[in-house]
């Protein structure tokens, strides 16, 4: 039989394009994918609305956006803030150095109040502050303080007149920040908060006041913190493990299935690449459960290749030609693969619909894996094996690891 | 092929072994329960990593001095360089800093700390949610497989899937291996693999059944044996591939995913075993009963 060069050229081109794309762009895509805290370091806090206050989804999302403003103070990029109705907010931040400071800034209600001398009666609230007006200043002794402006200057003047000669303490939540004694009525709606230990603390307070108070009071119900160095190590270990695993799988598949094994390896590379691409496109965070689903996905994709190749080998052993065996083998294995894929999709759809948090993350990764497996291990694999067979190059059963004496004369 | 194994003939032996394994697991679950990680028990867990092997006595001394009486601390990590300290108290970030600096000073080295404070309600909610979602997923599997195959295949597949999950949970209980939230992901993976593995063998049994239409027990049994035989190489090769991935994770992956990978390995082996020795055998016994009933009712 004449070898058809055209088909081989297409096969080689396809391989080069796939490997070339993977090699040249994987690093960029990998860098863009958000890694979970377990793989990157950082911390996660789950807040729950304290009891006895009105909470609904609207209030929760207002709170979430107030938290987002505050995280900007920390200069951290891309915090992950999710609302978990009815009453929880999950905050995940990667790569924070000072976790204590971060948590102080995020979780406080930060309600500023001016109170009467007894500290019991609230005279003015944070909502009376002019938005974005808080800034750091210095007193005559060059000590840092926070300057604020009030929206209603007249009201402030009236209140200060009432308490001349008495202290008018300023509270942040239930902590007294300072208790200046009113010497005279203050016009112009300007006030200062003294008693700041450092410029940094003054700056944090000013930013906190500008970010606005949280609409509801939150309590920390769960927290999880991973040192950045530990997270990096976990990721490095996992990647190293992954590389060895993939190498072992490649050797095994090519050793056992020969040429179609090589095709399986190429489609597996495409599989891994496309799954990463889906992670990137859907803005998914790669966590350990996601990694688990990824491994299962590799298993399912390899399985699809193995099922097809076993079927082809079976047909070869019955004495059919390579061309006929590939045709019948691909056809017969197709429905098997579809059934096993669809059953897993059905299960993961239900997990997605009813699951929360980790379960949902797992099911999304699994679905992505199965759909990509259909494209690569089923479609791409068939295209490539067919190209090789039609080229007449791969026309001996030994290419499929079927020995002559295994073939029956039937 | 020249050799053949009588899987169906040995079904009672394998049913026996499988049931014994499950009973052992269930008894252990009742007697000593699961060794629940911090995710399910309230309190704090600190993983303190050092750049050398941990001196456990000295570490316990430090913790005692800081006010944690009889600290529940053990050594972990590949190089025994991680001190895992658990307490039912809530340790605030300020306290974590205090502990970190105490260790820094005592061992004259930089230590890094991973802390986890947990309200067990969250972990339990996640576990409950996972169980409910899985049960509903099973209902969906039963419906889909009943439509594509038939109800006997569907029920057998779901029983098998429960076997695999229960087997893994049982082993974790017997050996008191710590179970955390990531374990739930491992169980979900096992279930996914189990159903995938079973369906492929069932597909072959269905194909051969429709072609041969066996009426006698011997024919039915040899048809199932033949189907298992035909898919055996695939079953083994697939599980070997997935195991390679899971093994690499156990050997090379970090401390945090060791138990997770261990669960995967147990479940994957169980998944491959149960498709052949449980799922197919339930189907053959059940189908034979139905054939007999049909024969006796039509006679």
**Is B137 in the same domain as B90?**
no
Q: Which of B66, B88, B118 is the last residue of a domain?
A: B118
**Is B129 in the same domain as B237?**
yes
Q: Is residue B5 in a domain?
A: no
**Is B31 in the same domain as B89?**
no
Residues of B with Cβ-Cβ distance to A220 under 8 angstroms: 117
Q: Is residue B132 in a domain?
A: yes
**Is B79 in the same domain as B179?**
no
Check residue B69 and report its DSSP letter: S
**Is B142 in the same domain as B89?**
no
Query: Looking at the 3D structure of chain B, how many domains does it have?
Result: 2
Greater confidence (B58 vs A100) lies with B58
**Is B137 in the same domain as B264?**
yes
Per-position b or e across B237-264, b if 16+ CB within 10 A of its CB: bbbbbbbbbbbbbbebbbbbbbbbbbbb
| pLDDT at residue A228 in the model | 61
Q: Which of B118, B142, B173 is the last residue of a domain?
A: B118
**Cα–Cα distance measured from residue B201 to residue B231, given in angstroms and rounded to the nearest whole number:** 6
Residues of A with Cβ-Cβ distance to B192 under 8 angstroms: 296, 344, 347-348, 366
Greater confidence (B215 vs B93) lies with B215
Task: Please tell me which of the candidates A222, A248, A249 has its beta carbon nearest to residue B119.
Answer: A222
Q: Could you tell me the pLDDT band of residue A78, with boundaries at 50, 70 and 90?
A: low
Percent pLDDT > 70 in chain B is: 92
**Is B162 in the same domain as B100?**
no
| pLDDT at residue B168 in the model | 92
**Is B25 in the same domain as B155?**
yes
DSSP B84-146: EEEESSPPPHHHHHHHHHHHHHHHTS--EEEEEEE-HHHHHHHHHHHHHHHHHHHHHHHHHHH
**Which residue from B minimizes the CA distance to A358?**
B185
Closest-CA distance of chain A to residue B71, Å: 21
| pLDDT at residue B270 in the model | 93
**Is B27 in the same domain as B175?**
yes
Task: Please tell me which of the candidates B140, B230, B245 has its beta carbon nearest to residue A350.
Answer: B140
Q: Is residue B3 in a domain?
A: no
Q: Is residue B135 in a domain?
A: yes
φ, ψ at A135 (rounded to 5°): -150, 165
Q: Which of B95, B118, B141 is the last residue of a domain?
A: B118
Q: Is residue B4 in a domain?
A: no
Region B185-193: mean pLDDT is 83
A393, containing H or E segment: none
Region A279-295: mean pLDDT is 79
Q: Is residue B283 in a domain?
A: yes
Neighbouring C-beta atoms of residue A120, cutoff 10 Å: 7
**Cα–Cα distance measured from residue B39 to residue B184, given in angstroms and rounded to the nearest whole number:** 11
Q: Kindly tell me if the per-residue pLDDT of A394 is higher than 60.
A: yes
Domain with B70 in it: what CATH number? 3.30.70.3400
Neighbouring C-beta atoms of residue A190, cutoff 10 Å: 14
Q: Could you tell me the pLDDT band of residue B170, with boundaries at 50, 70 and 90?
A: very high
**Residue-wise pLDDT tens digits, B9-42:** 888 888 889 899 999 999 998 988 877 776 676 6
Task: Please tell me which of the candidates B132, B144, B234 has its beta carbon nearest to residue A354.
Answer: B132
| pLDDT at residue B148 in the model | 85
Q: Could you tell me the pLDDT band of residue B171, with boundaries at 50, 70 and 90?
A: very high
**Cα–Cα distance measured from residue B80 to residue B60, given in angstroms and rounded to the nearest whole number:** 15
Distances (CA, A) of B232 to B237, B265, B266: 8, 19, 19
Percent pLDDT > 70 in chain A is: 92
**Which residue from B minimizes the CA distance to A339?**
B199
Beta bridge partners of A88: A48, A84
Closest-CA distance of chain B to residue A298, Å: 8
Closest-CA distance of chain A to residue B1, Å: 8
Q: Kindly tell me if the per-residue pLDDT of B167 is higher than 90.
A: yes
Task: Please tell me which of the candidates B94, B96, B241 has its beta carbon nearest to residue A302.
Answer: B241
Assigned token pair, B125: 């909610």
Region B73-82: mean pLDDT is 75
Closest-CA distance of chain B to residue A231, Å: 9
Residues of A with Cβ-Cβ distance to B268 under 8 angstroms: 299
Residues of B with Cβ-Cβ distance to A245 under 8 angstroms: 244-245, 247-249
Q: Is residue B276 in a domain?
A: yes
Q: Is residue B2 in a domain?
A: no
Residue B115 · residue A223 · CB < 8 Å: yes
Structural domain boundaries enclosing B222: 11-37+122-298
**Is B188 in the same domain as B165?**
yes
B242/A237 touch (CB, cutoff 8 Å), yes or no:
no
Assigned token pair, A39: 């793989």
Closest-CA distance of chain A to residue B77, Å: 12
| pLDDT at residue B23 in the model | 92
Domain with B211 in it: what CATH number? 1.20.1640.10
Region A299-324: mean pLDDT is 86
Greater confidence (A291 vs A315) lies with A315
B68, containing H or E segment: none
Check residue A150 and report its DSSP letter: B
Task: Please tell me which of the candidates B118, B189, B244 has its beta carbon nearest to residue A292.
Answer: B189
Q: Kindly tell me if the per-residue pLDDT of B2 is higher than 50.
A: no
**Is B160 in the same domain as B286?**
yes
Residues of A with Cβ-Cβ distance to B240 under 8 angstroms: 252
Residues of B with Cβ-Cβ distance to A237 under 8 angstroms: 252-254
Residues of A with Cβ-Cβ distance to B238 under 8 angstroms: 299, 302-303, 306
Residues of B with Cβ-Cβ distance to A339 under 8 angstroms: 148, 199, 203
**Cα–Cα distance measured from residue A298 to residue A292, given in angstroms and rounded to the nearest whole number:** 10
Task: Please tell me which of the candidates B192, B199, B251 has its beta carbon nearest to residue A296.
Answer: B192
**Is B259 in the same domain as B278?**
yes
Check residue B77 and report its DSSP letter: S
């Amino acid at each position: 039989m004449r070898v058809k060069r055209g088909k081989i050229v297409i096969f080689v081109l396809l391989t080069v394009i796939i490997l070339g794309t993977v090699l040249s762009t994987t690093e960029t895509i990998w860098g863009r994918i958000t890694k979970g805290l377990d793989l990157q370091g950082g911390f996660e806090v789950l807040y729950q609305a304290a009891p006895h206050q009105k909470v609904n989804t609207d209030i929760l999302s207002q709170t979430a956006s107030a938290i987002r403003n505050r995280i900007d103070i920390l200069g951290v990029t891309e915090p992950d803030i999710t609302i978990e109705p009815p009453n929880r907010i999950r905050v995940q931040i990667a790569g924070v150095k000072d976790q204590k400071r971060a948590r102080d800034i995020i979780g406080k209600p930060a309600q500023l109040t001016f109170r009467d001398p007894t500290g019991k009666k609230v005279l003015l609230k944070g909502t009376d502050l002019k938005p974005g007006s808080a800034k750091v200043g210095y007193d005559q002794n060059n000590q840092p303080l926070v300057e604020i402006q009030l929206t209603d200057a007249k009201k402030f003047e009236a209140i200060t007149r009432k308490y001349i000669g008495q202290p008018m303490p300023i509270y942040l939540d239930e902590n007294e920040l300072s208790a200046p004694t009113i010497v005279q009525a203050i016009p112009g709606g300007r006030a200062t908060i003294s008693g700041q230990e450092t410029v940094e603390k003054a700056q944090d307070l000013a930013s906190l006041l500008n970010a606005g108070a949280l609409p509801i009071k939150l309590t920390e119900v769960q927290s999880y913190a991973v040192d950045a160095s530990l997270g990096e190590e976990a990721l490095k270990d996992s990647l190293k493990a992954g590389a060895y695993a993939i190498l072992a799988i490649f050797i095994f598949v090519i050793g056992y299935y020969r040429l179609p094994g090589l095709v399986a390896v190429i489609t597996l590379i495409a599989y891994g690449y496309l799954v990463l691409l889906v992670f990137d496109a859907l803005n998914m965070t790669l966590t350990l459960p996601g990694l688990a689903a990824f491994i299962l996905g590799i298993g399912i994709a390899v399985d699809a290749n193995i099922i097809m190749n076993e079927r082809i080998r079976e047909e070869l052993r019955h004495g059919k030609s390579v061309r006929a065996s590939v045709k019948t083998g691909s056809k017969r294995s197709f429905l098997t693969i579809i059934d096993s894929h669809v059953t897993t999709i059905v299960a993961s759809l239900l997990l997605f619909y009813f699951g929360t948090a980790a379960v949902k993350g797992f099911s999304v990764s699994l679905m992505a894996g199965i759909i990509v497996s259909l494209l690569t291990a089923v479609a791409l694999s068939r295209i490539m094996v067919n190209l090789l067979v039609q080229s007449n190059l791969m026309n001996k059963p030994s290419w499929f690891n079927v020995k002559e004496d295994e073939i029956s004369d039937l | 092929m020249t050799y053949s194994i009588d899987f169906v003939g040995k079904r009672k032996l394998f049913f026996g072994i499988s049931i014994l394994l499950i009973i052992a697991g269930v008894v252990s679950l009742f007697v000593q329960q699961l060794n629940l990680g911090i995710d399910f028990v309230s309190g704090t867990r600190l993983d303190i990593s050092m750049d050398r092997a941990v001196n456990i006595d000295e570490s316990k001394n430090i913790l005692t001095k800081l006010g944690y009486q009889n600290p529940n601390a053990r050594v972990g990590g590949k190089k025994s360089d991680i001190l895992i300290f658990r307490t039912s108290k809530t340790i605030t970030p300020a306290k974590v800093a205090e502990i970190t600096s105490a260790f820094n000073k005592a061992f004259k080295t930089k230590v890094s700390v991973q802390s986890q404070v947990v309200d067990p309600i969250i972990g339990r909610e996640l576990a409950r949610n996972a169980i409910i979602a899985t049960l509903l997923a099973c209902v969906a599997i039963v419906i889909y497989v009943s439509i594509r195959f038939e109800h006997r295949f569907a029920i057998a597949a779901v029983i098998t899937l429960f076997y695999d999950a229960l087997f893994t949970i049982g082993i974790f209980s017997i050996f008191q291996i710590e179970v955390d939230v990531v374990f739930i992901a491992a169980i979900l993976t096992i279930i996914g693999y189990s159903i995938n593995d079973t369906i492929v063998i069932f597909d072959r049994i269905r194909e051969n059944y429709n072609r041969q239409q066996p009426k006698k027990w011997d024919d039915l049994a040899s048809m199932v044996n033949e189907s298992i035989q035909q898919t055996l190489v695939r079953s083994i090769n697939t599980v070997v591939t997935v195991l390679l991935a899971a093994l690499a994770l156990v050997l090379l992956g970090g401390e945090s995913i060791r138990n997770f990978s261990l669960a995967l390995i147990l479940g994957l082996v169980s998944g491959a075993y149960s498709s052949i020795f449980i799922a197919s055998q339930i189907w053959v016994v059940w189908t034979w009963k139905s054939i007999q009933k049909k024969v006796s009712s039509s006679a």
